Amino acid sequence: MSDALNALQSAISDYFDALYQCDTDLLQKVFHPKAVYATADETPLLHRTMAEYVPVVAARVSPASRGEERRDAIDDIQLAGDNTAFARVRCSIGDSDFVDFLTFVREDDRWQIMSKIFQIKPRQTGGA
């Protein structure tokens, strides 16, 4: 079980790095080619395939190049079995914080994200 958790944590770390650096090669390594990307925070509901999502990331100015503080966190990882898992993670890009629900499948002994469903949260500014 700990081998699976370690592998999932490594995949999630790659996911965070891919978003922070806008590294589309790493992004395509961590996402399954048939993955789904969606949020209901936009109207109409935003749904993208990987073929649609990768160019969006490629066109961004990376948070790394802007010197943004990293705010990555893994809140939870759950294994449903040997080949299926779920993770609740958080990260930030620009002025927004994101809560991502990531589902994973293990194929050819590699964990990949099969779906990313996320919530956008504008960052709170000001004091405690």
Instruction: Give the pLDDT band of residue 46 (cuts 50, 70, 90).
Output: very high
Tokens of 88: 């609740």
- The model's pLDDT over 48-91, given as tens digits with 9 standing for 90+, comes to 999 999 999 999 999 999 999 999 999 999 999 999 999 999 99
Tokens of 60: 């961004």
Asked if residue 25 lies in contact with residue 105, where contact means CB atoms within 8 angstroms, the answer is no
Taking the mean position of all CA atoms in its chain, how far away is CA 18?
A: 9
What number is the average pLDDT over the span 36-53? 94
Rounded CA gap, 4 and 8, in Å?
A: 6
Domains of the chain: 2-122 (3.10.450.50)
Instruction: Say what the pLDDT of residue 125 is.
Output: 65
Instruction: Say what the pLDDT of residue 123 is.
Output: 79
- The model's pLDDT over 102-128, given as tens digits with 9 standing for 90+, comes to 999 999 999 999 999 999 988 776 544
Neighbouring residues of 53: CB distance < 8 A, sequence distance ≥ 6:
31, 37
Rounded CA gap, 55 and 5, in Å?
A: 30
Rounded CA gap, 37 and 41, in Å?
A: 12
Q: Which residue has the tokens 């010197």?
A: 67
Check whether 1 has a pLDDT greater than 80.
Answer: no
Instruction: Say what the pLDDT of residue 128 is.
Output: 46
Check whether 9 has a pLDDT greater than 90.
Answer: yes
Name the nearest CA neighbour of 104 among 124, 87, 127.
87
